[in-house]
Structure 1
């Protein structure tokens, strides 16, 4: 099945000064599965994943505000996680009403879903969350600020700080925007993903808005990273979470998820030998792991008590 054959309908969800471009695919009578992309992607991140899900699920993708075919008001403030989490919930309400939905998210998409599922009562609206390469920034901040109990733990924190140092450049304002205006070209990005991440070119569907999305999307770093990591708050969730931890991710070290059981009442984890862009590198694995987790959660939800 190709993604063109799977497409059923599109809509625009309007929320707080933004218009979010939403697509729905597949089995509209099946469980609702919402897919959320990160930076600098759009819904096209999931193009190779969606056809593997449409037989069983009512699949929903959308462009987050200011990306792809969505729009916003162009400010840094609108990229705060609180707003992006509200956007996500507006999409959930629009496509599912009161029916609890499952979620699959990557990178900053995952970060904003963490923000949403840590809100009180989120477990009544979100049935499960499969997370790839995107932690809760509050959990990350708590982990970084905790006292290491061994030399290994200290080393893990130091390596994460080094791995995250690129965000300082991304928050540098005119310097980073100029860099990505010059080098954020589709052919350069495609070549980088194929060489560094070893992504099959058949899985690369890069939006024509890539350069704009790269530049404008940098606002999400300025709006959140230092504020959240330096001043984290205790955030808990009862939403079942499954982590797909990419062991070769240059940005998010696997150890940063250690101890997450403190914040999540129910969490499972699968470590994968992959770089950051797992949905592009191995869409079949992403679809299979998500399907297995969702089906398990749904069986448990419908089991007589």
Structure 2
């Protein structure tokens, strides 16, 4: 059963005035959308689990030595329709705020990217994932978690993929045919950071982050529909975020595919803290 909307507020122990939309720089958009998951299910519960876990995140950031919530973090009403999600994202951008979309399955990433393309003529996407998500259709649908980055590519938005370790022959051919930047495959970047500056250099000035939680190794992130071994670790992701935010203008993000497991709140907290780190 889906969490009540009252629980679907990313708030931690933040004072009320910093949770108001008018005062907020960051806007959380919960999207409990799940229609095409093909293995494990439960991503519709992801936004609620992330928001619930946010209450346990310490507000003081040890690296910045600041309480970054003072920029303001508001949460809008949940969205379950993809067309409506694009409209909501556009409204947030019109208000000059930073949208953070919480999935839900990865299908939800395409509408925000279309919204950003209207506002930025040089938007690019950095995509963290175990899977390429570049199929033209999957199980008879073009609007699938397995096709979402194909829809992004069709928008002529530059794409850089990080952590990929499972894709089909069809997707390999798409990468070659479309002239996409080669994926930063997980086995090539494991245990090193030489690749980070190269990846950032491939991105335009304005960057949207799409983060599928299965980019993390399955030992860190078992709570997802299709966990994969051989993934990224916490410090590797945070280090890349740090470099990216120093070198480019990050304008929005989504975090998708968390499928919470009862009795194991660690993955929920990991995603909530990663959002706060960003």
Range class of TM-score, shorter chain: 0.3 to 0.5
> What TM-score, normalized by structure 1, do the two folds share?
0.38
**Structure index of larger Rg:** 1
> What TM-score, normalized by structure 2, do the two folds share?
0.41
Q: Counting helix residues as a fraction of each chain, which structure ranks higher?
A: 1
